[in-house]
């Protein structure tokens, strides 16, 4: 079947893309050939295309099973905006609307139908191979008890293969370890499905992990540097989402809290306000974000350590889906680990959850490239350091930490291996709080031996010792620190210890590292296109990114299309969107360009008027706060337009002759640099420009 179909033309026509991303074409052809598939692809990697393109090709409907009823409308709006007939079906619709949808299915007038697993039974009349060409199970990790987001309703999907034995089933998820993948295939009864595992790397996302100190202060600074951007801040509890949102609001940031304790109407309003850019910041529990197609989320912040790497990876993947630079910032403290372990107590899979917390902790405390650590968890190796994480940008400094280790280990030993990390730090720093005095810890030999280090430094050093296997944390004994056999080698056998100096990264340094000068979102054209998009989105009651993504606007800003043909060449512009939006956006681009021409003409006129007043080149440059070379170019432009300019004051006759000869020797180049280099940098650029201007008038 696939040999007769030009799926590339379908991709361009409906989605506006000229080429497929890695694995997409292979997956699509597999599905079109009637084969089952398991697709592991990162958030923003293009999973949806893998079943949406086949849905356009197949004659019957594609059933998309998704756990997110509240977000189905946005997904359907996006498809319909691309000219793809789509709908969602759930119990909130009245019987007339439901009947109309089922009629479209029977008449083969619907490409995709989104439904929650709980509502599948409502489709029993059309759930047959007469009408259904493909079943897509989105967020497939929800089916597995090994997964990080297990949902019992998904386990009732095993009947699908029995009901539709000849219909391909494609299961898709952004995160699934090997155990979860096997469980997905078993639960869906598709053991022979083709497996496609894409690269998990999202190089456009900057990864940053910071100590969990002064979080509000650091988040406020971060938000001030990203005032126009949308982002999500994840918290561990409902209360912390509300507290954080309230604090940020008091500091002047427009934010809302989102958690399962809100009513359905309240949650829906927060989601819609965020998706439609009416609010910029959402402080949420992990219940928020799955399935959101908002492509212009520029940052994700984790206020606490996530409970596993799968969840963390999926959550940061909600940033930068459009391919533009995005940031993932996480705060980490040892208290987060303690709290997460408490959450697991009594769980049926407690050991599995604890293991995942430990892997998350190792990632947070890594002293090597974090992206390497992250990708290795999913079985992917990165050949070199990423250069886009905090460790790569601020490499840790290693020191001989043997004496530091001996002091800490000795304090643990003399406290009878019965005190927590915080208490050991207080002992080392000579604290005289009531607990230390009541326990007599002020009388042990190592009391006060570490006053030369801050509380934060000691905390970080002790965590490093635990990571190196010198200390164990007895969570069942109120988190008491205990020595390991390896620790005794440090204390009594002269074993050396390497530690890294705890870093308190300077905010200003991080700010300077950003590529502010290359940010396309700051340009005048981009802002005008974004404003037009916002107006159209409001008029059509759809999220702005449904019209065009930020990445598509960026390409328009870069290539400045002037005609329908050149507009269609922009990535993200298909035939349908050209027809609906092409004229509006082209008019805006041309209007912007005409305005720019007028402004340029005006700026040259201002310089010429000052020149006529008798001002020197240097004086004009000073008045206008411009470079002298810019003023010379203004006067050259006015000279070519026929205005009176004394060019002899800008360039000597001898220099004009020298430029004339080089013009012949160099073959009349368009740039000034070849002349500059030919004169061995002895004649300034502005004089070369002036000489060429004189020659043009001859």
Residue 523: per-residue pLDDT: 56
Rounded to whole angstroms, what are the CA distances from 626 to 469, 589, 632, 655, 685? 61, 27, 11, 25, 15
SS3 at position 208:
strand
Q: Which residue has the tokens 């002091």?
A: 407
Q: Which residue has the higher pLDDT, 684 or 3?
A: 684
Mean pLDDT of the chain: 89
d(CA 592, CA 585): 11
Whether 258 shows a pLDDT value over 60: the answer reads yes
Rounded to whole angstroms, what are the CA distances from 428 to 48, 364, 408, 422? 55, 25, 7, 10
Residue 188 is given by DSSP the state T
Whether 80 shows a pLDDT value over 90: the answer reads yes
Residue 4: per-residue pLDDT: 60
Residue 230: per-residue pLDDT: 93
Residue 288: per-residue pLDDT: 75
- The model's pLDDT over 95-108, given as tens digits with 9 standing for 90+, comes to 999 999 999 999 99
- The model's pLDDT over 202-253, given as tens digits with 9 standing for 90+, comes to 999 999 999 887 899 999 999 999 988 999 999 988 999 999 999 999 999 9
Among 158, 131, 159, 156, residue whose Cα is nearest residue 60? 131
d(CA 642, CA 476): 89
> How far from chain centre, in Å, is Cα 591?
32
Residue 24: per-residue pLDDT: 95
Residue 667: per-residue pLDDT: 87
- The model's pLDDT over 354-403, given as tens digits with 9 standing for 90+, comes to 888 988 988 998 888 999 989 888 878 888 899 999 999 988 889 999 99
The predicted model scores a pTM of: 0.70
Q: What is the CATH number of domain 2-197?
A: 3.40.50.300
d(CA 692, CA 637): 11
- The winner for highest mean pLDDT among 464-468, 470-474, 653-657 is 653-657
Residue 515 is given by DSSP the state -
Residues 312 and 370 sit within 8 Å (Cβ to Cβ) = no
Residue 507: per-residue pLDDT: 40
Q: Which CATH superfamily is domain 519-604 in?
A: HRDC domain (1.10.150.80)
CATH class of 205-332+361-379: alpha beta
- State both tokens at 348: 């049926």
- State both tokens at 678: 């030919």
- The model's pLDDT over 625-682, given as tens digits with 9 standing for 90+, comes to 889 989 999 999 999 989 999 999 999 999 999 999 999 888 888 888 889 988 988 8
Among 445, 460, 358, 438, residue whose Cα is nearest residue 407? 445
CATH T-level assignment (fold) for domain 398-500: Arc Repressor Mutant, subunit A (1.10.10)
pLDDT band at residue 511, thresholds of 50, 70 and 90?
Answer: very low
d(CA 226, CA 249): 15
Residue 290: per-residue pLDDT: 60
What is the arithmetic mean of pLDDT over 194-205?
92
- The model's pLDDT over 166-182, given as tens digits with 9 standing for 90+, comes to 999 999 998 777 788 88
**Which range (71-75, 257-261, 680-684, 685-689) has the least confidence?**
71-75
* CATH topology agreement for domains 398-500 and 519-604: no
Residue 520: per-residue pLDDT: 40
Residues 547 and 536 sit within 8 Å (Cβ to Cβ) = yes
pLDDT band at residue 304, thresholds of 50, 70 and 90?
Answer: very high
Residue 379: per-residue pLDDT: 79
Residue 508: per-residue pLDDT: 35
At residue 282, φ and ψ (nearest 5 deg) are: -120, 125
Residue 287: per-residue pLDDT: 67
What is the arithmetic mean of pLDDT over 50-75?
89
Residues paired with 62 in a beta bridge: 112, 134
Q: Which residue has the higher pLDDT, 404 or 624?
A: 404
Whether 3 shows a pLDDT value over 70: the answer reads no
- The model's pLDDT over 618-638, given as tens digits with 9 standing for 90+, comes to 999 999 888 998 999 999 999
Residue 247: per-residue pLDDT: 95
Domain extent listing, the chain: 2-197, 205-332+361-379, 398-500, 519-604, 614-697
Residue 135: per-residue pLDDT: 97
- The model's pLDDT over 131-189, given as tens digits with 9 standing for 90+, comes to 999 999 998 888 875 545 556 778 788 899 999 999 999 999 987 777 888 889 999 99
Strand order in the sheet with 297-302: 205-211, 326-332, 297-302, 230-234, 281-284, 255-258
Residues 46 and 198 sit within 8 Å (Cβ to Cβ) = no
Residue 509: per-residue pLDDT: 45
What is the arithmetic mean of pLDDT over 505-526?
49
What is the arithmetic mean of pLDDT over 528-553?
92
> How far from chain centre, in Å, is Cα 286?
16
SS (H, E, C) 437-491: HHCCHHHCCCCCCCCCCCHHHHHHHHHHHHHCCCEEEEHHHCCEEEECHHHHHHH
């Amino acid at each position: 079947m696939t040999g007769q179909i030009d799926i590339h033309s379908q991709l361009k026509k409906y989605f506006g893309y000229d080429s497929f991303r890695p694995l997409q074409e292979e997956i699509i052809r597999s599905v079109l050939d009637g084969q089952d598939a398991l697709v592991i692809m990162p958030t923003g990697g293009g999973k949806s295309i893998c079943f949406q393109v086949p849905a356009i090709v197949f004659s019957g409907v594609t059933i998309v099973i998704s756990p997110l009823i509240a977000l189905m409308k946005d997904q359907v709006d996006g498809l319909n905006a691309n000219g793809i007939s789509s709908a969602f079906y759930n119990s909130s619709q009245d019987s007339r609307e439901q009947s109309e949808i089922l009629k479209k299915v029977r008449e083969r007038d619907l490409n995709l139908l989104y439904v929650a697993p709980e509502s599948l039974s409502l489709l029993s009349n059309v759930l047959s191979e007469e009408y259904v060409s493909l079943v897509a199970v989105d967020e497939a990790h929800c089916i597995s008890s090994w997964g990080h987001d297990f949902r019992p309703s998904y386990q009732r999907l095993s009947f699908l293969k029995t009901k539709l034995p000849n219909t391909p089933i494609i299961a898709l998820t952004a995160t699934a370890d090997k155990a979860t993948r096997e469980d997905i295939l078993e639960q869906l009864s598709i053991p022979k499905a083709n497996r496609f595992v894409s690269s998990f790397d999202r190089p456009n996302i900057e990864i940053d992990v910071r100590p969990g100190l002064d979080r509000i202060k650091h988040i406020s600074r971060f938000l001030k540097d990203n005032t126009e951007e949308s982002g999500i801040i994840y918290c561990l509890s409902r209360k912390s989402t509300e507290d954080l949102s309230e604090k940020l609001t008091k500091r002047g940031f427009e934010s809302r809290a989102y958690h399962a304790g809100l009513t359905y109407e309240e949650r829906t309003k927060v989601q819609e306000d965020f998706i439609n850019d009416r609010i910029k910041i959402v402080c949420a529990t992990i219940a928020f974000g799955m399935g959101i197609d908002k492509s212009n989320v520029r940052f994700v912040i984790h206020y606490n350590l996530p409970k596993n790497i799968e969840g963390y990876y999926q959550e940061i993947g909600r940033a930068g889906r459009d391919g533009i630079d995005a940031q993932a910032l996480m705060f980490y403290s040892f208290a987060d680990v303690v709290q997460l372990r408490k959450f697991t107590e009594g769980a049926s899979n407690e050991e599995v959850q604890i293991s995942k917390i430990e892997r998350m902790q190792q990632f947070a405390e890594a002293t090597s490239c974090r992206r390497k650590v992250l990708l290795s968890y999913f079985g992917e190796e990165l050949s070199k350091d990423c250069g886009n994480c905090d460790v790569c940008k601020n490499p840790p400094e290693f020191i001989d930490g043997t004496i530091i280790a001996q002091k800490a280990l000795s304090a643990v030993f003399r406290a009878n291996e019965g005190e927590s990390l915080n208490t050991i730090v207080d002992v080392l720093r000579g604290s005289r709080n009531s607990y230390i005095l009541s326990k007599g810890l002020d009388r042990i030999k190592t009391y006060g031996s570490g006053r030369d280090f801050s509380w934060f430094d000691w905390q970080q050093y002790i965590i490093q010792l635990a990571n190196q296997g010198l200390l164990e944390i007895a969570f069942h004994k109120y988190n008491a620190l205990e020595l390991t056999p390896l620790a005794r080698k440090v204390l009594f056998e002269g074993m050396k210890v390497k530690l890294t100096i705890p870093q308190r990264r300077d905010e200003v340094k991080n700010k300077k590292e950003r590529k502010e000068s290359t940010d396309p979102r700051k340009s005048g054209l981009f802002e005008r296109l974004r404003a037009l998009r916002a107006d159209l989105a409001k008029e059509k009651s759809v999220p702005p990114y449904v019209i065009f993504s930020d990445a598509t606007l960026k390409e328009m800003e870069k290539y400045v299309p002037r005609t329908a043909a050149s507009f269609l060449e922009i990535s993200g512009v298909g035939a349908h969107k050209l027809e609906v939006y092409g004229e509006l956006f082209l008019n805006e681009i041309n209007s912007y360009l005409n305005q720019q021409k007028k402004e340029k003409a005006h700026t040259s006129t201002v310089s010429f008027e000052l020149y006529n007043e008798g001002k020197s080149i240097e004086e004009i440059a000073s008045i206008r706060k411009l470079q002298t070379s810019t003023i010379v170019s203004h006067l050259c432009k006015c000279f070519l337009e026929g205005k009176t300019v004394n060019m002899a004051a800008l360039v000597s006759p001898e220099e004009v002759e020298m430029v004339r000869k080089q013009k012949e020797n160099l073959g009349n180049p368009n740039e000034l640099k070849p002349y500059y280099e030919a004169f061995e940098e002895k004649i300034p650029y502005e004089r070369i420009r002036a000489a060429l201007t004189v020659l043009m008038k001859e």
